[in-house]
C-alpha cells in the first residue's frame, strides 16, 4: 500500500510537470548585435601633453561612478572598476522580441536582449578598465581604454574585452531563434573617458 502511494504521488508530479511544459510556450526573433571592433572606439591620440592628459584623467575619473583601483603615473596606467544598474547602455545583446506564455501568464518584450536579461533574469554587469596613457611627443599623447566586461544572468555568463564580443550557448532558446546569444560593448564607457580628455 505504501509503495502504491509513492507511485501515485510520483505519477501526479510527472503529469503536473508535463502539463506545465505543454502549457508553456515561447517564440521569438533574435538578431545579434553588429560587431564593431574598430580600435578608434577605444583608442585616441590627443593633442595635449602627457601631464595635462593624465591630470585630467584622474580628475574626471574621481568625479564619476568609476572606482579608481590603481594608478601609476610613471607607467601611465590607471585601473578603474565599474558596475551599472542600466547595463544595456554599456553593452548590447542585439534585437530581441519574445512572446512567452506560461499557464495563464503572458510576457511580451521587444528591445535589447541585455535589457530583457537585466529586467527578467537578474542580469548584472561588472567591469574593469585599464587605461594606458602614452607620451608621443611634447604635444601629443595616446590613450587606450581597454575594458573587461562580465555580464551574468541566472544561468549564463558573457566575458569579453573592448574590441571583441562574447557568443555563448543558452539553455532554452525560444522557438525560431538560434541557440547562441552574442553580447558586445556599446563603447559608452570607453568613449566617456576619451571624450573627457579632449
Q: Per residue in 147-168, pLDDT tens?
A: 999 999 999 999 999 999 999 9
pLDDT of residue 174: 87
Residue scoring higher pLDDT (23 or 99): 99
Number of domains in the chain: 1
Closest CA to 160 of 170, 179, 169, 147: 147
C-alpha 160/C-alpha 183 separation (Å) is 8
Mean pLDDT of 57-73: 94
Answer yes or no: pTM beyond 0.75: yes
Q: Which is higher by pLDDT, 117 or 18?
A: 117
157: CB partners within 8 A, 6+ apart: 150, 151, 168
Please give the Cα distance from 13 to 169 (Å, whole number): 30
User: Which residues form the domain of 160?
Assistant: 2-196
**Long-range contact pairs involving 12-21 (C-beta distance under 8 Å, separation at least 24):** 20/102, 20/103
pLDDT band at 198 (very low <50, low <70, confident <90, very high): confident
Contact 23, 104 (CB under 8 A): no
Amino acid at each position: 500500500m505504501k509503495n502504491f502511494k509513492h507511485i501515485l504521488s510520483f505519477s501526479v508530479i510527472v503529469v503536473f510537470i508535463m502539463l506545465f511544459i505543454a502549457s508553456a510556450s515561447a517564440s521569438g526573433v533574435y538578431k545579434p548585435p553588429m560587431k564593431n571592433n574598430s580600435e578608434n572606439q577605444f583608442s585616441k591620440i590627443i593633442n595635449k601633453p602627457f601631464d595635462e592628459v593624465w591630470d585630467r584623467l584622474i580628475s574626471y575619473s574621481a568625479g564619476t561612478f568609476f572606482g579608481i583601483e590603481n594608478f601609476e603615473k610613471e607607467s601611465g596606467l590607471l585601473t578603474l572598476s565599474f558596475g551599472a544598474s542600466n547595463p544595456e547602455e554599456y553593452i548590447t545583446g542585439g534585437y530581441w522580441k519574445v512572446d512567452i506564455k506560461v499557464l495563464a501568464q503572458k510576457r511580451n518584450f521587444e528591445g535589447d536582449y541585455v535589457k530583457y536579461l537585466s529586467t527578467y533574469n537578474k542580469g548584472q554587469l561588472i567591469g574593469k578598465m585599464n587605461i594606458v596613457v602614452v607620451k608621443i611627443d611634447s604635444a601629443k599623447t595616446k590613450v587606450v581604454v581597454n575594458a573587461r566586461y562580465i555580464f551574468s544572468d541566472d544561468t549564463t555568463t558573457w566575458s569579453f574585452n573592448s574590441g571583441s564580443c562574447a557568443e555563448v550557448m543558452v539553455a532554452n532558446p525560444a522557438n525560431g531563434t538560434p541557440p547562441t546569444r552574442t553580447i558586445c560593448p556599446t563603447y559608452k564607457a570607453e568613449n566617456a573617458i576619451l571624450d573627457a580628455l579632449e
